[in-house]
Amino acid sequence: METRALIGKFLLRICVFLVFSSTIYSILICVAGEILPKYLKRNILYTLGSVGFTHTRLEEAKITENIDILFLGSSHAYRGFDNRIFQKHGYSSFNLGTSSQTPLQTHTLLKRYVKKIKPKIIILEVSPMSFEADGVESSIDILSNDLKDLNSITMVLNQNHIKAYNTLIYSIYRDLIDINKDFAEPPNKGGDFYISGGFVENKCNKVILDTTQSIAKTINYSKTQLKCFEAIINEVRELNMRLILIQAPITSLKYATYLDNTSFDEKMMKYGEYFNFNTLMSLTDSIYFYDSHHLNQLGVDKFNTEVIIRL
Amino acid sequence: MLFNSLNFAIFLPVVFIVYWCVVNKSLKLQNILLLVASYFFYACWDWRFLFLLIFSTLLDYFTGLKMPAAKNHRIKKVWFWISITVNLGFLAIFKYFNFFSSSFAELILNFGLYVNPWTLQIILPVGISFYTFHGLSYVIDVYNGRIKPERNLIDYSVFVSFFPLLVAGPIERATHLLPQIQKKRIFNYRESIDGLKQILWGLFKKIVIADQCAEYANMMFNSPLDHAGSELILGAIFFSFQIYGDFSGYSDIAIGTAKLFGIELIRNFAFPYFSRDIAEFWRRWHISLSTWFRDYLYVPLGGNKGNMWMKIRNTLIVFLVSGFWHGANWTFIVWGAINALYFLPLLITGKQHQNQQIIAYNKVFPSIEEMFKVIRTFILIMISWIFFRSETINGSFIYLSRIFSETLFTVPNFSGVRYSLMILFLISFLLIVEWNGRKEEYAICRIGTLWITPFRWCFYSLLVFLIGMFMPTSETPFIYFQF
* Pairing relationship of beta strands A192-195 and A199-202 according to DSSP bridges: antiparallel
Model pTM score: 0.87
Residue B318 covered by a domain: no
Task: Name the residue of chain B whose CA is nearest to A163's CA.
Answer: B473
**Which residues from A are below 8 Å from B193, CB to CB?**
10, 13
Contacts of A160 (CB under 8 A, 6+ apart): B6
Say yes or no: B376 and B387 in one domain: yes
Say yes or no: B91 and B200 in one domain: no
Total domain count for chain B? 2
Residue B321 covered by a domain: no
Q: Looking at the complex, does the CB of residue B452 fall below 8 Å from at least one CB of chain A?
A: no
pLDDT tens track for B428-445: 999 999 999 999 999 998
Of B21, B193, B416, the CB nearest to A7: B21
Say yes or no: A278 and A202 in one domain: yes
For residue B117, what pLDDT is reported? Answer: 61
Q: How far apart are CA B89 and CA B455, in angstroms?
A: 54
Per-residue pLDDT of chain A (311 residues; tens, 9 = 90+): 677 889 999 999 999 999 999 999 999 999 999 999 888 888 998 888 878 899 999 999 999 999 999 999 999 999 999 999 999 999 999 999 999 999 999 999 999 999 999 999 999 999 999 999 888 989 999 999 888 889 899 999 988 889 999 999 999 999 888 887 788 888 888 888 999 999 999 887 777 767 676 778 899 999 999 999 999 999 999 999 999 999 999 998 888 888 899 999 999 999 989 999 999 988 888 888 988 889 999 999 999 999 999 88
Task: State the Cα angle at A302 between A296 and A305, rounded to 5°.
Answer: 135
Sign of the alpha-carbon dihedral angle for B158, B164, B169, B172: negative
**Which residues from A are below 8 Å from B418, CB to CB?**
39
Of A7, A42, A160, the CB nearest to B6: A160
Angle between helices B50-69 and B73-91 (to 10 degrees): 170
Say yes or no: B180 and B196 in one domain: no
Q: How far apart are CA B198 and CA B194, in angstroms?
A: 6
Say yes or no: B206 and B180 in one domain: no
Percent of chain B, pLDDT > 70?
94
Residue B285 covered by a domain: no
| Touching A: B residues 455-474, CB under 8 Å | 457-458, 460-462, 464-465, 468-471, 473
pLDDT tens track for B204-260: 999 999 999 999 999 999 999 988 999 999 999 999 999 999 999 999 999 999 999
For residue B472, what pLDDT is reported? Answer: 83
Q: How far apart are the CA of B196 and the nearest CA of chain A, in angstroms? A: 9
Sign of the alpha-carbon dihedral angle for A261, A265, A266, A267: positive
Indicate which residue of B134, B227, B286, B326 is catalytic.
B326
Q: What is the maximal distance between C-alpha atoms in chain B?
A: 74
DSSP letters for A3-44 = HHHHHHHHHHHHHHHHHHHHHHHHHHHHHHHHHS-GGG-TT-
Of A6, A43, A162, the CB nearest to B187: A6
**Mean pLDDT score, B80-89:** 92
Say yes or no: B25 and B161 in one domain: yes
Q: Looking at the complex, does the CB of residue B103 fall below 8 Å from at least one CB of chain A?
A: no
- CATH code assigned at A300: 3.40.50.1110
Residue numbers of the domain that contains B410: 190-276+355-482
**Which residues from B are below 8 Å from A14, CB to CB?**
196
8 A C-beta contact, residue B43 and residue B50: yes
Residue B136 covered by a domain: yes
Q: Do B24 and A29 touch (CB under 8 A)?
A: no
Say yes or no: A205 and A304 in one domain: yes
Average pLDDT, chain B: 89
Residue B293 covered by a domain: no
| Touching A: B residues 365-424, CB under 8 Å | 416, 418-419, 422
For residue B78, what pLDDT is reported? Answer: 92
Say yes or no: B147 and B222 in one domain: no
**Mean pLDDT score, B345-349:** 91
Strand order through the sheet with A93-95: A93-95, A69-72, A121-125, A242-247, A273-276
Phi first, then psi: give them for residue A275, nearest 5 degrees: -130, 130
Total domain count for chain A? 2
Say yes or no: B84 and B220 in one domain: no
Catalytic site includes residue B326: yes
Say yes or no: B134 and B66 in one domain: yes
Say yes or no: B118 and B262 in one domain: no
Say yes or no: A125 and A13 in one domain: no
Which of residues B130 and B426 earns the better pLDDT score? B426
**Last residue of a domain, which of B157, B187, B217?**
B187
Mutate to test the interface with A, among B461, B467, B474 (most CBs of A within 10 A): B461
Residue numbers of the domain that contains A290: 54-133+185-309
Q: Looking at the complex, does the CB of residue A7 fall below 8 Å from at least one CB of chain B?
A: yes
Of B187, B192, B468, the CB nearest to A43: B468
8 A C-beta contact, residue B203 and residue B249: yes
Say yes or no: B423 and B390 in one domain: yes
For residue B205, what pLDDT is reported? Answer: 95
**Last residue of a domain, which of B128, B161, B187?**
B187
**Which residues from A are below 8 Å from B6, CB to CB?**
160
**Which residues from A are below 8 Å from B465, CB to CB?**
24-25, 28-29, 32
Task: Name the residue of chain A whose CA is nearest to B21's CA.
Answer: A4
For residue B475, what pLDDT is reported? Answer: 60
Say yes or no: B234 and B373 in one domain: yes
**Which residues from A are below 8 Å from B448, CB to CB?**
none
Residue A267 covered by a domain: yes
Which of residues B118 and B27 earns the better pLDDT score? B27
Q: In chain A, what is the straight-line distance between the N-terminal and C-terminal CA atoms, in Å?
A: 73
Q: How far apart are the CA of A219 and the nearest CA of chain B, in angstroms? A: 19
Say yes or no: B460 and B361 in one domain: yes
pLDDT range class, residue B131, cuts 50, 70, 90: confident
Q: Do B20 and A161 touch (CB under 8 A)?
A: no
Residue B284 covered by a domain: no
Q: In chain B, what is the straight-line distance between the N-terminal and C-terminal CA atoms, in Å?
A: 17
Residue A149 covered by a domain: no
Q: Do A24 and B461 touch (CB under 8 A)?
A: yes
